[in-house]
Amino acid sequence: MELTDWRQLSDRGPDLVLCLDFPGGRAAAGFAELADGVAADACFLHFRQVGDGPLAACVDRWADELLATGRPVRAVLGYCAGTAMATRLADAIAAAGPPPMVLLFDAVSTTNGSLATQFVSALESNARHLTADELADARDLSEQLVETYPDDLPRIAAALTDRYDRLIRAVADRLSVHEFLRQELTGTFTAYLDYLLLASEGGFDMRTTTPLFLCSPGYEPPVEGARTITLDIGHADLLRAPYVHELVADLLTGEHPW
């Protein structure tokens, strides 16, 4: 199956299960672990780099490509910020056929505060190579941006990306890091903020079905009265835990009531 916007994680059946999460590497488990562990006769796909928005245009493009395969979409899965895009894609798929199952893992909304938090977290991972003043100034910048431009997420993201690039350049000079690696670091961070900005255009109000929220400790559905299963599994291990794999398999096969 040749697809432009999707890569295959596993293929054990005709039905499609779509997975939306940041496609870059991170410490937490990803959908590759879940696809490998779920015993269901389905083909798991993960979307590639999101590209340019707006989200509505992206969703239409993704849905058109998937529908052109002629294979039914059994479920749409989202993780963290990707959940707000999974709902929109599921609605687009349902416009042309039966609504798919929608499973949202540790759903969160992208806000000005979450952009700032991701910026600070990314810099703190390089804290030993930055001065105390550089870190303090970066934290101050993130707080000022949130306060000054509370509703202008693109402006906040652009300013944070610029500061991140300047600080990584400083680190690269101190450590004699190759220019290619420096560009990779900045490029990954920029791609992540672009992904979060696209996710910020989504939401959790659905036209065609009711999503099921799967939550680890410390996470609550971003909407009241949501259908929820709370799991005693940490956020980082949510997609690799065998119990979650069994639960998802039971949901996909109908063993667990949907």
pLDDT score, position 63: 95
Local confidence band at 256 (pLDDT 50, 70, 90 cut-offs): low
Cα 173 from Cα 33, distance rounded (Å) = 37
Task: Please give the domain boundaries of the chain with CATH numbers for all domains.
Answer: 6-108+202-253 (3.40.50.1820), 112-199 (no CATH)
- pLDDT beyond 70 at 258: no
Amino acid, single-letter form, for residue 7: R
pTM across the whole model = 0.92
pLDDT score, position 8: 95
Asked whether 127 and 105 are in contact (CB, 8 A), the reply is no
pLDDT score, position 181: 81
What average pLDDT does range 5-13 have in this prediction? 94
- pLDDT beyond 80 at 1: no
- pLDDT beyond 80 at 3: yes
CB burial of residue 43 (10 Å; 0-12, 13-18, 19+): buried
Percent of the chain beyond pLDDT 90?
A: 79
The pLDDT tens digits for 174-232 are 888 788 888 888 999 999 999 999 999 999 999 999 999 999 999 999 998 899 999 99
b/e string for 25-34 if b means 16 or more Cβ within 10 A? eeebbbbbbb
